[in-house]
Structure 1
Amino acid sequence: MNRVAQVVATALASACWLAPQAAMPPHAAAEPPDDSTPRAVDRGQRPPVHDRDRERRASRGAAMRRLPTAEAEPPGTQPIGIETMPARIRPETPVRVTGTVYNDSDETWGDVQVGLLISPAPFTTAEEIEASNEAAPEAACPSYICRIVVDGTYDDIGRVEPGESKSYALTVPYRHLALSGEDGVYHAGVEVNAGVTEGRMAVGRQMTLLPLISRPREAERVDLATLWPITAAVPWTGSTFLNGSLSEELAIGGRLQRLVSLAEDRSTDGAPTWVVDPAVLEAAEAMGDGFTVGEREFAEDSNPAVGAAAWFDRTLQAIDRDSVLALPYGNPDIGSLAGRRVGPILPHARHASDQTLDGLGVDGAIPTIWPAAGRVNAAILDRAEQAGAEVALVSSAAFHDDPTRSVVGLPSSRPGLAGLVHDPIASKAGLIAQPDQTVLQWRQQILGVTALMALDPDGDHSAIAMPTSRWWPDDDWNQADLFDKLDVPWVSQVDASTLLADGTQTYDGTFRYPKRMERYELPNANRAAARRLTSSARKVNGMLTQPARSRARTNRVGGLSTSMAWRASPRVGREIARAGIARNHEQLNGVTVSVPSFVTLSSQSGRFPVSVTNELDEAITIGLLVEPTDPHLQVGEIERVTIQPHQRIAVTVETRAEGVGLTSVTVQPLNQRDVAFGQVEEFQVRTSQLAAVVWVVMAVGGGVLFLAAFRRIRKRVRAHRADRAEA
């Protein structure tokens, strides 16, 4: 049966599937739309696409609506899935597709048939691919146009009961595809038809892309860097986990576990560039020793702890052999922190990131920031500079003038800040894996988009592919051979360092950061909690003799509490900050002072003792802030003292009084930055000049006594002389 006859038969018979013995009943899904035209039915014509500008606006609007993302969820089971298919169309080579049909309904499917769908003409622009992905599945590739109905090209798998799965296999010779033969990207997929209560109808389909380059060796080669994010919500206070989301992602079948398995599952030189939040690695390592979620404890030999430890070991080995882009610890939300007074959260998180990776033996990581939705402005770039970033992952939507390359220099007072640009239009076209895409679908869309780039001799021939933070690889991930199947003649798999080494041209235009972006930022309550955390940490670190360990801990908590993951769950971020603040206050309250209840100073200068107790497990170096309410009582300089853990010492306070009376005196510990902290103790001091009066009285009394004695002695001398004269 030739292709023209197929189209005619399809139109006349309502596009039913033709069995070898008899035609199947028609079904509504195969009917062409009422406004279809003969040209739309012609398989030699490309399916219509939407207006480019309208699609750009819709895509960006949808991206904005998706910003407050929730935690990733495992993919659901689809009525039909593709497990294997060729990476590209080769002339004169059959197209072989295998997969599984799953009856997700409550009724039996009878006489189930699976067939191949493929568009007669290719897409030749990324915008056409984007528009087809935005359109309804049936509209993007209508069955009456795309379905192959040649005998022997479909698979009859019989009856499928509710909840039952059955495999299928299709082999379609190249001549039966009846393609236009034009180079480009063909819309392709599979459709399952079954007899149900309403009649015979299509009960599921899955679509993807198949590129065709007839002379692949003559096409331009595209340098493709695949960024591989190891990021997740880490609801960790440093001692306990607030929920079990991270444990689920690390377990067998979890999102992070599958991401690492995908990256390991390769035999070619193609390798991803890892985008790593060190908080995920450190949390997984800590979980391997046993951990607590809320009030529930998981021992070291429990399945979650063993799974976390295994994932940590595998991931560390995997990233050790590839390039790494290192995010600040916890992946703080730089957009929410930029231009606001929240303290040095970002530079401290960067320092924590460097410390963590150094401790794990990961060398050569490039400091990177990843703003929400890839949007930047001058304030964000300024914060990036403070965070010591060398690379920013940026969306082309952030630029008023679209950049022409995948790597651009970003304007900053810190020289060398480069932007790795991913295109939101290309996200719909396939370079950015979306949560609802299978690994194979994403693989094919990467191949499709890069094929179009290779066919354009005047365009940019570098590209960046990456999954979103919510992309959870499907159950058939290991059938997709992601990196091996990207090994095609027009693709050179490189790491991000290669793209960066090619040099950049600085972008000197302005940026788009719409006002509506602010509504998705962390709320003010989270930023206020971050400020309180920073303030309390500064007091703690200022009193410790060796503050390095405390500083490292608070740097980590600061990054985790402001993580971008909490845009959807800001309460979790505040709880992490509050836990850090509570720990800081506990340490501050571990240093106490004891004062006398009452002190009397009987002279112009005097002294009294103050006891200081260190109940912490670390040595402290502090001074004392002693403040009388009466300015006539002056306090001498008090030297700082170092107190070892669980020790108590007495500090002598020297005073000088210039008057008499009763005054209140407050005493409070003072850290090495001269910042007071801890409990304020108060007592009364009475000052008098009693000692001076006593000395005056004693002096006067002594003088009177001396005078009386002198007069008495003189009188006796005179009397003695008189007696001698008479004699």
Structure 2
Amino acid sequence: MPRPTSLPPALVAAVVTVLAAVLAGLVAGVAPLTTPPAAARTAADAPPLSISLDSIYPSTIPRKGPIRVTGSVTNDDDAAWTAVQVYGFIGGAQPGSLTPMRSAGELVAAARTDPAAYVGDRITKPGTYATLDRIEPGQSQQFAITIPRSQLPVTEPGVYWFGVHALGAGPDGRIEGADGRARTFLPLVVGHRKPPVDTALVLPLRKAVSYAPDGSVRGLRNWERTLQPGGRLRSMVDFGAAAGDRPVTWLLDPGLPEVVRSLTAGNPARLAVPPRSGDEDGGASSSASPSASGSPTDPPSEEGAGTGSSTGANSELAAVADAGNAWLDRLHEALDGNQVLALPYGDVDAAAASRYDPELLHEARKRSGDVLSPWGIPMTPGLAAPSGFLPSDTLTAAPKRATVLLSDRELGGPSTPTVAAVAGRKVIAVSQGASSGGPGPGPRRAPIAMRQRILAEAAVRFLDPAANPLVVLLPSDWTPNATTDFFDGLDVPWLRLTSVADISARAATPVSGDGLRYSRHREARELNAPAFTAAGGLVRAGATLQDVLGDQAAVAAAVRDQAMTSVSFGHRDHPHRTRATLEASRSWIEGQLGSIRIDAPPAVTLSSTSGRFAATLSNGLDRAVTVHVQALTGPRVHVEGPRQIPLGPGGSATVLLTASTSAPGVHNITLVVTDSDGTPLGASDRLPIRSAQVSRVIWLIIGTGLALLFLAIALRLVRRVRAARGARGARL
């Protein structure tokens, strides 16, 4: 049978073109009954599926045996996804190669890679991937895959890309490319004959504190959230406690436990704070835990700011007290046996304080002390900014025994020696890359991402002949919401967890201080001078109130602590609010001092060169006070009074003052209530003193007149006596 003759290619092309044009015209006028196949997804499109990695075991590529990966896939689309397959993948430093990354610089570059970029090939052998039948919008489903070692065709030591891809069918059917990704780093280290890499994890505990004008702590709900399980401060403490016997290093603001203790004691206002036994110098080593001994003099103006007396406020206080007590117990457990680096008290912005108020910074270091009370945990001075960057003058002013942590980026980059000498002092370079976490598109600071980045940084150091130790300052705002297997994954033979003190004992490698990368932008981020001026004013006001109250309350120490805490690194974002808060607290203290009043008489007249008059002092505080009265007079008027004037709570007293002057006329004087140093408390009263003394000439005339009068009387008496005798002799 003869074959049909084929149409000429040109004719076929013409027919196809005509049919396409006709169909396009028809389709243009009506909506399609079915959606045509979609084009490949571009890198700019948001992936419809997101993947969270929960565990990778083991945490490094094993010599033999499989790797098990668990996690979840979440449907972020508004339609269901079906037949979702989850594959593992592995890749090298360059796309399409299996050459590993072997330097910290390569890790930095890899972490910045576009989350949608191709970095490795999927492992598609049956049995190595999981299938999720259907995921509804907003729903998450767990997966688990096991990848045999034979499916990881890598043998060269280094760090590899590793992760999972999710591919499925959505409302547009199957689209080319991965519909969801999760990526991390996976090291391969063989030949463990050299010493392991010393690695120190530094766990920061610092938090900005805001105060009401009366000295109570604001934001009780926020404190409850951060202290209870799942909150940032509680999670960091739980994370450190999960290390067990493995050493970690804590970077602690000693003021933070003090604030939490104050919250557990009812969040007292400053006049309700009892005196600290033996705390004349304000050292943390001798300070007792604050406790409530009364209610605030003035209720706070903001909801949830102070102690209050309503049922709602009491329930808030009870909730934050419960969370605070549990946090303190957990903190004690986590700190015990580990190195504790004590920040300047209140986490003072050391960079700004060294510029605007070095004395306050010195007091903050002194206040932190060497022992954390009441637990007796030893501490050593530490200094570190949350960003890891500090100016050179702050380094110069730091005590020699302080452990200073600087970002390796400020010192020159990832290749910087971990133990360096800058401007004659030893500093510890912390890995900025390790603390930044893993690559996208998932959360870069998820526990798995952080752990794998730390392992990767340690691996490239282990493979480097220099074997530079690794110090990681974890982010201050990090919330490690899961600690399961984190530290177990660090138990590899080529990594040794240790303390910063152990690493710091090494010899330092000189690094030029001129090369510190502290930019003007970072300098502009520091707290400004007005904030420190306001802090100084608050400290002085607190010292005055303490002088008036005596030993009844630790007002000066509490106010000084508040001032230090209010100029912390955590207040950098709101310098104007910081200044306003400090000034409001100072005004509150001045209002308390101003309630001690003085009332002078309307006027005083002196009939001689000196005389006494009375003034009345009244105490508007519910505390006993001791004050002084100072008279502001002219150069020829002097007023004296009692050296100390005690006043009971709400009481009053009348004091006698002696005024003296050698100049006649009217003298206006002002009576001012002061402390023992002569600092005015605010209250005063004015009165005129009139000097009505008579001159010496007048006294001479008066005296002469009196003498003549007495002489006349004497003469008259003599004459009368003589006359009487003469009359008697005539009769005889």
CA contact (8 A) 2:59 2:489 kept: yes
**Equivalent residue in structure 2 for 1:394, among 393, 396, 406:** 406
Amino acid at match of 2:184: T
**CA-CA distance at 1:382 after TM superposition:** 5.6
Structure 1 pair 369–207 and aligned structure 2 pair: CA distance change class (3 A): same
Query: SS at 1:118's partner residue?
Result: strand
In the alignment, is the contact (CA less than 8 A) between 1:220 and 1:457 conserved in 2? no
**Displacement after TM superposition at 1:219 (Å):** 3.2
Q: Which one has a bigger Cα radius of gyration? A: 2
Q: Is the 8 A contact 1:234 1:279 kept in 2?
A: no
Change beyond 3 A, Cα 1:686–1:338 = same
Question: 2:88 aligns to what?
Answer: 116
1:135 equivalent to 2:143? Answer no
CA distance in 2, matches of 1:457, 1:660: 94
Kept after mapping to 1: 8 A contact 2:422/2:513: no
Q: Report 1:649-664 matches (<5 A).
A: 649-664=653-668
Is the 8 Å Cα contact of residues 183 and 212 (structure 1) preserved in structure 2? yes
CA contact (8 A) 1:236 1:560 kept: no
Identity value in percent: 29
Quickly say closer, same or farther: Cα 1:208–1:435, change in 2 above 3 A.
closer
Q: Distance in 2 between matches of 1:92 and 1:470?
A: 38
* Length, aligned pairs only: 637
TM-score, scaled relative to structure 2: 0.79
Name the SS for the 1:325 alignment partner: strand
How far apart are the structure 2 equivalents of 1:501 and 1:580? 44
Report if the CA contact (8 A) 2:434-2:450 is conserved.
no
- The 5-angstrom pairing of residues 210-359 of structure 1 reads 210-216=186-192, 218-237=193-212, 238-242=215-219, 244-267=221-244, 269-289=245-265, 293-294=304-305, 297-299=313-315, 303-340=319-356, 342=357, 344-354=359-369, 358-359=372-373
Question: Which stretch of the first structure deviates more once superposed, 322-331 or 568-577?
Answer: 568-577
- Name 1:609's counterpart in structure 2: 614
Residue 13 of structure 2 corresponds to which residue in structure 1?
none
In 2 relative to 1, CA 284–590 (structure 1 residues): closer, same or farther, beyond 3 Å?
A: same
Cα contact 2:220–2:316 (8 A) shared by 1: no
SS of 2:670's equivalent?
strand
How far 1:538 sits from its partner (Å)?
A: 3.5
For 1:363, which of 367, 371, 377 is the aligned residue?
377
* Alpha-carbon spacing, 1:122–1:378, altered in 2? closer, same or farther (3 Å): closer
Structure 2 residue identity aligned to 1:467? L
| Residue in 2 that maps onto 1:91 | 63
Tell me the distance in 2 between the aligned counterparts of 1:489 and 1:544: 62
Paired AA for residue 128 in structure 1:
E
TM-score by length of 1: 0.79
CA-to-aligned-CA distance 1:504-527 (integer Å, 9 cap, x gap): 567663344322223222345533
Pairwise CA RMSD: 3.3
| Cα distance per residue 1:659-707 (max 9 Å; x no partner) | 2111211011222222222212111111111496885565233212122
Residue aligned with 2:335, SS: helix
List per-residue Cα deviations over 1:322-358 (Å, max 9, x = no partner): 2211223331222233322x58433444455449x64
| Alignment CA distance shift 1:626-1:30 (3 Å) | closer
SS at match of 2:545: helix
Letter in 2 for 1:419: V
Deviation at 1:389, TM superposition (A): 7.3
Describe the shift of the 1:597–1:210 C-alpha distance in structure 2 as closer, same or farther (beyond 3 A).
same
Deviation at 1:397, TM superposition (A): 3.5
Q: Is the 8 A contact 1:155 1:169 kept in 2?
A: yes
Whether the aligned pair in 1 keeps the contact of 2:434 and 2:472 (CA below 8 Å) is no
SS of equivalent residue, structure 1 residue 311:
helix
**Matching of residues 26-175 of structure 1 within 5 Å:** 28=40, 79-85=50-56, 86-119=58-91, 120-139=98-117, 141-142=118-119, 145-175=120-150
**Which residue matches 2:34?**
none
Gaps of at least 5 residues in structure 1 are 1-24, 32-76
Among candidates 677, 683, 696, match of residue 681 of structure 2:
677
Matches within 5 A, 1:528-543: 528-543=533-548
Contact 2:197 2:496 in 1 (8 A): yes
Q: Offset at 1:554?
A: 0.5
Alignment of 1:172-187 (within 5 A): 172-179=147-154, 181-187=155-161
Kept in 1: contact 2:386–2:476 (CA 8 A):
no
Deviation (angstroms), 1:657: 1.3
The alpha-carbon deviation at position 125 of structure 1 amounts to 0.5
Paired position in structure 2 for 1:595: 600
Q: Deviations over 1:485-536 (max 9, x none)?
A: 2121111111222223445567663344322223222345533432332332
Establish whether residue 622 from structure 1 lines up as the match of residue 597 from structure 2.
no
Aligned equivalents of 1:440 and 1:591: distance in 2? 61
What displacement does 1:435 show?
7.2
**Cα shift at 1:372:** 4.8
Mapped contact 2:390–2:406 kept (Cα < 8 A):
yes
2:167 & 2:320 partners in 1: Cα distance?
42
Instruction: Confirm or deny: 8 A CA contact 1:328 1:369 kept in the other structure.
Output: yes
User: What's the counterpart of residue 474 of structure 2?
Assistant: 467
Change (3 A) 1:659 1:558: same
Counterpart-to-counterpart distance in 2, 1:26 and 1:678: 78
* Secondary structure, counterpart of 1:445 in structure 2: helix
Which secondary structure does the structure 2 equivalent of 1:330 belong to?
helix
CA contact (8 A) 1:349 1:558 kept: no
SS of the equivalent of 2:101 reads: coil
In structure 2, how many angstroms separate the alpha carbons of the residues matched to 1:523 and 1:212? 48
Contact in 2 for aligned 1:126/1:426 (Cα 8 Å): no
The separation in 1 between residues aligned to 2:315 and 2:266, in whole angstroms, is 5
Aligned to 2:527: 522
- Indicate how the Cα distance of structure 1 residues 654 and 335 shifts in structure 2: closer, same or farther if over 3 A, else same: same
Q: Check whether the contact 2:186–2:456 (CA below 8 A) recurs between aligned residues.
A: yes
Query: For residues 182 and 335 of structure 1, do their structure 2 counterparts lie closer, same or farther at Cα, with a shift above 3 Å needed?
Result: same
Shift of 1:604: 0.8
Q: How does 1:369-408 map to 2 (within 5 A)?
A: 369-381=383-395, 384-385=398-399, 390-399=402-411, 404-408=416-420
State whether residues 109 and 194 of structure 1, in contact with CA within 8 Å, keep that contact through their aligned partners in structure 2.
yes
- Describe the SS at the equivalent of 2:387: helix
Distance 1:99 1:430 in 2: 16
